[in-house]
Amino acid sequence: MTAAFNNIVRLMVTEEFTRELRRSGNATHDPILEFALQLPTLPAPQNGVNPTMLNELASIVFPSRAKAGVLTNQDRSDLKHIAIAAHHKIAAFVTAEDALVQASPRIEATFGTKVVHVKDLADTLRSATNISSPLEIGFSDRELRLSEVTEGHSSAIRKLVDSFKLPRNLHSLVLAQGVQASTRRSLAITFGDKIVCAAFWQPQSVLQGVLEAFLLIDEDEASVLVAVNALLNQLSRIASGRGPARLRLIIPSSATGTQDVAVRYSFMRCMSNEAEISRYQRLTIGRVIDGESWPSIRRHIESASDMRFAEEFASIADDELRIQFRSESGAEFVIDLFDLETILSPTLFLVPGRSAVLAPIRAVYADDLLDTSDQSSLLPRPQASKLHERTYFSHPRNERLLARGTPIVFYESGRMKGRSAAVAVARITSTIIVPKSRIAATLLDGGVVAQEHMKISAPEISLPQQLLTTC
């Protein structure tokens, strides 16, 4: 109810819902019916619910009873709910009926309406509207703070936003003015009282698999590009927290460094006639893809892009890990699995025959590199745990095993209260061998191993937080 009153979702009931309450409720006084009558109502189609649609829904939701011709009155009422919602092209239908929820993938694929359990909706709303806990991040010789924008940031935010020429709606979004005030969400990375970069968005679209965020950046700050990296990683985590999503960025056109970081992490520039701002977007999966999850993820990809893939997951990649797909017009293309994972990151395709590497790591290093600790640290974390790409230091003899594109599973040893379990998965983006004295600062900042413990090999890995699996 709170989400509806805050305009995060639009709450409506079907006409069948009030009829059902009248059939089963108290004839003289039913407070639930009285409340339902005050809500906006989706009427049944003018000529009644289409019998063909009801029969098709019955075969999806109650296949055994539909085939035997023994549907109950409650079954028929449940099917009418879905049929009315689909007729009005409603994005989601909320219910506590397990049979409807289990049939949601087929209902959504056939009729375009997703069926959501009321508990899952509550969890989704909570994740979309929760205020982020403050997080200290250590950046070389300084400490930055990642948190929700607070009242204490108002002066710095206003000063920074006034330095850009922005459309009125973005100006209002940043300053939380008008209807934006109660629902706007934000993340900021600050150094003391200064705003290094911040993101602002409305949570409503997150529920439909889209997060569109405006980025406000002070590119005169020394740590801004690393901060933007961490901010984009956090936005990816939020966008794909409930499943595959489209992440859209609105960036001031003068913030060229920020746009370069976005392009590096697979954001594609959108065509736009707006001189003050530039728009970027990409898909983010946020989980591993296997045979079980492929049908649902395939539908997400095809509905959001011009890429059509094979239905059989086991056959999508050839021996050289190349994947064929076609455009909507029928043109055939081939893409390397590595490139596809980069475009859809964070994700890993668990295709048959793909080899992986098991890498040991101590608990103290896993906590700082992979952010797998069950308890948040009271001290600033190294920046590595919040970046898209991170550095894992190993011995040169492992170079052959740590090939580009290889999945890597991190096994936390039992020493020093470790969990003796696999705690995270990642993908190797590159491996280099350099003398310890010549290791670049970017590799050092992306890792957590003390310099006196470094061996020589420094494979750089792509490890967004969404792929972490904590045991």
Instruction: Kindly state whether residues 167 and 214 are assigned to the same domain.
Output: yes
Instruction: Kindly state whether residues 143 and 251 are assigned to the same domain.
Output: yes
Instruction: Kindly state whether residues 274 and 144 are assigned to the same domain.
Output: yes
Instruction: Kindly state whether residues 335 and 398 are assigned to the same domain.
Output: no
The domain boundary, picked from 282, 304, 328, lies at 282
Instruction: Kindly state whether residues 58 and 169 are assigned to the same domain.
Output: no
The domain boundary, picked from 66, 98, 126, lies at 126
Instruction: Kindly state whether residues 269 and 139 are assigned to the same domain.
Output: yes
Instruction: Kindly state whether residues 296 and 186 are assigned to the same domain.
Output: no
Give residue 433's domain range: 357-467
Residues 6 or more apart from 446 whose CB is under 8 A from it?
383, 384, 387, 389, 390, 391, 460
Q: Which helix (H) or strand (E) holds 100?
A: helix 98-102
**Mind listing the pLDDT tens digit for each residue in 302-339?**
877 888 999 999 889 998 899 999 988 889 999 999 99
**Mind listing the pLDDT tens digit for each residue in 71-104?**
888 888 888 888 888 888 877 888 888 888 888 8
Tokens 């936005």: give the residue: 235
Instruction: Kindly state whether residues 267 and 304 are assigned to the same domain.
Output: no
Instruction: Kindly state whether residues 164 and 256 are assigned to the same domain.
Output: yes
Instruction: Kindly state whether residues 338 and 361 are assigned to the same domain.
Output: no
Whole-angstrom distance, CA of residue 464 vs CA of residue 461: 10
**Mind listing the pLDDT tens digit for each residue in 35-80?**
656 666 778 887 888 889 889 999 999 999 988 988 888 888 888 8
DSSP 319-380: TTSEEEEE-TT--EEEEEHHHHHHHT-SEEE--TT---EEEEE-HHHHHHHH---SS--SSP
Q: Burial letters for 403-413: b for 16+ Cβ neighbours within 10 Å, e otherwise?
A: eebbbbebbbe
Tokens 């709606």: give the residue: 169
The pLDDT value given to residue 107: 87
> Running DSSP on this structure, what letter comes out for residue 46?
T
**CATH number for the domain harbouring residue 88:** 3.40.50
The domain boundary, picked from 126, 151, 183, lies at 126
**CATH number for the domain harbouring residue 233:** 3.40.630.30
Q: Which residue has the higher pLDDT, 155 or 456?
A: 155
Number of domains in the chain: 4
Instruction: Kindly state whether residues 335 and 381 are assigned to the same domain.
Output: no
Instruction: Kindly state whether residues 142 and 277 are assigned to the same domain.
Output: yes
Q: Per-residue pLDDT for 466 more than 50?
A: no
CB 211 within 8 A of CB 199: no
Whole-angstrom distance, CA of residue 24 vs CA of residue 446: 62
Please provide the average confidence, as pLDDT, over all residues in the chain. Answer: 80
* pTM reported for the whole predicted model: 0.71
Q: Per-residue pLDDT for 296 more than 70?
A: yes
